[in-house]
Chain A
């Protein structure tokens, strides 16, 4: 697998606090990768470094073989790496369609034509079809402030995909989405992204979501990578179970395993 993104010994410190160290991750084209870790483990710091929001204190970030270390956010976005946010970063006083239109206007990268209208019927159609891909076209004329959290999350992600990125970071896409809707939400999301062969790295706390949607998983702990590999192996890793997943998932997986073990004994 030729990686589209590779980080080498990435490190970020805040004074004496080491937020991330020795982060070595490779992501292939079209790959879906889940990232787990407790709060403060360094997951978002890692995304912030790769997307140019935080310059790394040490290490290197390679995108398609070229270094993007220290480049400003907007340049990295233009190269084809985009992200969504744990708290959706939208334009709250505008409606959903205007949010999408602004994203499309910026993504189209037209030369600054000061006297040419930014929006035309074609661009509106494009925005509506993007919303349809995520199943939220019916909210097009609704103001962001009036939307449920799940829809805001999808708008946030839809805006991140307007430039057809090669790699998309999703920071806790299901946070704030009700437990009943999480699976359907992720199905809609992953299907929409798979259609474009976008590589996805998503940070998630719900292990069922990780198991269901990411063939590969990376576990962060105290700023370092504890495990990286096929999701089942990572989730069964003793250290990951002890330091990352915690007792709740232990009980859940043990319960699921118990009947099978009983049947076998019989």
Chain B
């Protein structure tokens, strides 16, 4: 608790070169899944940091979609293809919208927050689905990304996009880990357990929720930009309730114990889904549903709780050591 640079941050820094090396070692389809998972993993991170404050957002797809569509619209109408510029534009759009919506949402908790966030995301879904200029339900394609004037093509272009995705995702995860360790992170945990006491300690729970909501939106929008650039396409499904539900699914499956959990959880879910579809093409959702049910029953704090409990067992002194000590 007192170290300035914790194990998670070291882990994330070490994971970066490992992830980059994987592109040369693993088959292309696996690397592609990792890349997509990193994009959607950022949205799951956004859901996760809100869950730490006791808030379940069933509409996080809203910001995933805002990120993707901002990049798409900038490419389509302004001719911008620079990934860094698109990322900044996606972040700005999401921050402005989340800041405004936050004044409404910060007043609600539990099911009311969940339903309101869902309602807002479904408004955007309705708008995009009925806008023919933006491809209606089919969406539209994005340009090939460039990087400060450099436009790599073919395999090199894919590798560069993968590397940038890894750097941005892990960089944001590192920043979010810092947020969780900051006063805001602690206040959020306190809000989840007892909001009345938080107010009686002298701080505004509403303001903390608002800031967290905006941060979650920004991270989710970055995920949306990266995901959209990886697939080269956006459509309104990005903000549909089924997409938002997946992010909640991942957060519950992976747990909220560590910033790395949603990123790993997203990749595992992608892999499970691939094999579930392979095994049972018509009823693969049943396999995912069963997995969810088992997780809730046996690991209510998610898969990360397995790692956390293993760490606790390793850290606890053995009985024989205690006896020797005596």
Chain A residues within CB distance 8 Å of chain B: 51, 72-74, 77-78, 82-83, 89-94, 101-103, 105-110, 112-121, 124, 159-160, 162-163
Contact = CB atoms under 8 A, between A and B. Distances in A.
A116 B193 contact: no
Interface stretch (B96-104, B199-207, B269-277): B199-207
Interface in B166-215: 175, 178-179, 181-187, 189-190, 193-194, 196-204, 211, 215
Contacts of A103: 201
B194 A106 contact: no
B4 A115 contact: no
14 contacts: A51-B200, A77-B199, A83-B200, A89-B196, A91-B189, A91-B197, A93-B193, A106-B187, A110-B183, A114-B184, A114-B215, A118-B186, A120-B4, A160-B200
A115 B197 contact: no
A234 B253 CA distance: 61
Given A89-B196, A119-B186, A114 B203 contact: no
B297 interface: no
Contacts of A160: 200
A78 B203 CA distance: 8
Given A91-B197, A101-B1, A114-B179, 16 more contacts: A72-B204, A74-B202, A82-B200, A90-B194, A91-B194, A101-B186, A105-B187, A107-B201, A107-B202, A114-B178, A114-B182, A115-B179, A116-B183, A117-B4, A119-B1, A119-B181
Nearest to B201: A106
Contact of B183 (A72, A74, A112): A112
A118 B181 contact: yes
Main SS at interface, chain B: helix
B218 to A, nearest CB: 12
Interface residues of B, number: 28
A73 B183 CA distance: 20
Contacts of B211: 112
B190 A74 contact: no
Contacts of A77: 199-202
B49 to A, nearest CB: 12
B45 to A, nearest CB: 15
Given A116-B182, A119-B1, A119-B2, A159 B201 contact: yes
A118 B6 CA distance: 13
Contacts of A120: 2, 4
Given A91-B189, A112-B211, A102 B201 contact: yes
Given A105-B183, A112-B183, A114-B184, A124 B1 contact: yes
A120 B194 CA distance: 23
A89 B182 contact: no
A184 B215 CA distance: 48
B209 to A, nearest CB: 13
A112 B190 CA distance: 16
Contacts of B196: 89
Given A89-B197, A102-B201, A106-B198, A117 B181 contact: yes
B210 to A, nearest CB: 12
Given A91-B189, A113-B182, A115-B182, A121 B2 contact: yes
A89 B200 contact: yes
A109 B189 CA distance: 17
A118 B189 CA distance: 13
Contacts of B198: 106
Contacts of A124: 1-2
Nearest to A88: B197
B197 A73 contact: no
Nearest to A121: B2
A92 B193 CA distance: 7
Nearest to A113: B182
A105 B186 contact: yes
B200 A94 contact: no
B202 A106 contact: yes
Nearest to B178: A115
B186 A102 contact: yes
Contacts of B200: 51, 73-74, 77, 82-83, 89, 160
